[in-house]
Amino acid sequence: MADADGNKRARDYGLDIPVVQDSFFVKGMNNTDWGMKNRLSRIFNPKSGNTVMLAFDHGYIVGCTSGLERIDLSIAPLADYADVLMGTRGAIRAAIPPTSNKAVCLRATHDASVLFDDMASGSGLGVDMEDALRMNASALAVQCFVGSQKGERDSLEVLCRACDAGYRYGVPVMGVTAVGKEMARTTQYFLLATRLLAELGASIIKTYYCDDFEKVVAGCPVPIVIAGGKKLPENEALTMAYQAIQSGARGVDMGRNIFQSEHPIAMCQAVAKVVHEKFTDKEAYEFYLNEINK
Ligand code: R5P
């Protein structure tokens, strides 16, 4: 059995050898069913292979927060500029017109609210597959607390059951590597957490950008998208997105760095330039400045 003692650190990531994608463009998904591939093709643009997910699920933990006070006013107008809307069923049903026709990545867990010290102190499945299908979800997002005494077991159980249902109905599950109190944001941690969630059945992994990110990508058999994290100046957020894409990330699942920007539409468009059109961070920031000065 694999154990921590005597576990030799990974070395050879084959960084110069592309993964063979002979029958389908999404990494690791060659051998899945038609419905799963169809949903993945709504999430990842078949031309670029990448995705801009707009994350606005923060309210399920922190309640009403800056930029998400009125999702109908802040997020609905942004929908046209993203590929995927990533939110809770409550927010999407209430505030996003179904005519937006964007792929939905449905936040499918409940976790401890901001009133608790540690996000990992309680989580479970927050949506059943029947309701996810009723919402025409293209993916489910499941938060996982790898390395947490309190949250690892329960959250991985939720992931496994969501993947069972996902494979039954052709719905990909995005495993989200949450960083709670006990989890360090190190390359070693993200190497472990991303791989572990993919091995348990997740078809997409959402994680944070870190040093040696190309190794995290190479060691993970399915596509990785990065979370944006706390609001940064626009140029820095674009640099992070650019570096992640250069390292092999297949997109972003970005929230605050878009909806808390003073110019969210221009920022979302600039991120999409990096993700889909091979813009450098500097080119994308110039694009952003031009848009806001029009
Ligand atoms: C994490 O799981 C959150 O619920 C958000 O979806 C995620 O952090 C992405 O949003 P942001 O870019 O604001 O970090």
pLDDT of residue 94: 96
CB-facing half-sphere around the CA of 180: CA atoms within 13 A: 26
Quick check: 110 and 124 in contact, CB under 8 A? yes
Q: Which atom of ligand 1 is nearest to the CA of 260?
A: 13
The finding on whether 68 has its CB within 6 A of some atom of ligand 1 is: no
Per-residue 3-state assignment (H helix, E strand, C coil) for 235-267: HHHHHHHHHHHHCCCCEEEECHHHHCCCCHHHH
Residue 29 Cα to ligand 1 middle (Å) = 25
- pLDDT recorded at residue 31: 94
260 touches ligand 1 (CB under 6 Å): no
Q: Is the CB of 281 under 6 A from ligand 1?
A: no
Q: Which residues contact 292 (CB under 8 A, 6 or more apart)?
A: 262, 263, 266
pLDDT of residue 18: 84
pLDDT of the residue at 119: 75
| CB 144 near ligand 1, within 6 Å | no
CA distance 115 to 179: 17
58 CB within 6 A, ligand 1: yes
What pLDDT band is residue 11 in, cutting at 50, 70 and 90?
A: confident
CB of 150 shorter than 6 A to ligand 1: no
Residue type, 261: S
d(CA 210, CA 257) in angstroms, rounded, equals 17
Distance 23 CA to ligand 1 centre (A): 32
The one catalytic residue among 27, 206, 215, 273: 206
- Tell me how far apart the alpha carbons of residues 46 and 50 are, in angstroms, rounded to a whole number: 8
Mark whether 206 is an active-site residue.
yes
* Angstrom distance (rounded) from CA 171 to CA 138: 6
The number of the ligand 1 atom at minimal distance from the alpha carbon of 60 is: 4
Q: Cα of 17 to ligand 1 centre, how many Å? A: 31
Say if residue 271's pLDDT is above 70: yes
CA 254 – ligand 1 centroid, Å: 6
Range with lowest mean pLDDT among 18-32, 130-144, 218-232: 18-32
Contact partners, residue 98, CB within 8 Å, separation at least 6: none
How high is the pLDDT of residue 122? 73
What number does the ligand 1 atom closest to the CA of 143 have?
2
**What confidence score (pLDDT) does residue 9 get?**
82
Residue 1 pLDDT > 60: no
Q: How confident is the model over 270-282, as a mean pLDDT? A: 98
Looking at the chain, the whole-number percentage of residues with pLDDT higher than 90 is 80
Average confidence (pLDDT) over 185-207: 97
Greater confidence, 23 or 202?
A: 202
> According to the model, what pLDDT value does residue 3 have?
64
* pLDDT the model gives residue 17: 87
Q: According to the model, what pLDDT value does residue 6 have?
A: 67
pLDDT band at 234 (very low <50, low <70, confident <90, very high): very high
Provide the pLDDT confidence category of residue 183 given band limits of 50, 70 and 90: confident
pLDDT digits (tens, 9 = 90+) for 34-64: 999 999 999 999 999 999 999 999 988 888 8
Distance 227 CA to ligand 1 centre (A): 6
Q: Give yes or no for residue 223 having a pLDDT over 90.
A: yes
**Residue 275, ligand 1, Cβ within 6 A:** no
- Going from the C-alpha of 112 to that of each of 8, 9, 115, 182, 279, the distances in angstroms are 35, 33, 8, 15, 38
Compute the average pLDDT of residues 70-81. Answer: 95
Tens digits of residue pLDDT in 76-95? 999 999 999 999 999 999 99
Task: Give yes or no for a contact between 135 and 93, defined as CB atoms under 8 angstroms apart.
Answer: yes
- Identity of the residue numbered 290: N
Atom of ligand 1 nearest to the CA of 141: 2
Average pLDDT over residues 7-19: 85
Helix 264-277 crosses helix 281-292 at what angle (to 10 degrees)? 150
Does residue 57's CB lie within 6 angstroms of at least one atom of ligand 1? yes
In tens, the pLDDT along 100-133 reads 999 999 999 998 888 887 777 778 889 999 999 9
User: Tell me, what's the pLDDT at 273?
Assistant: 98
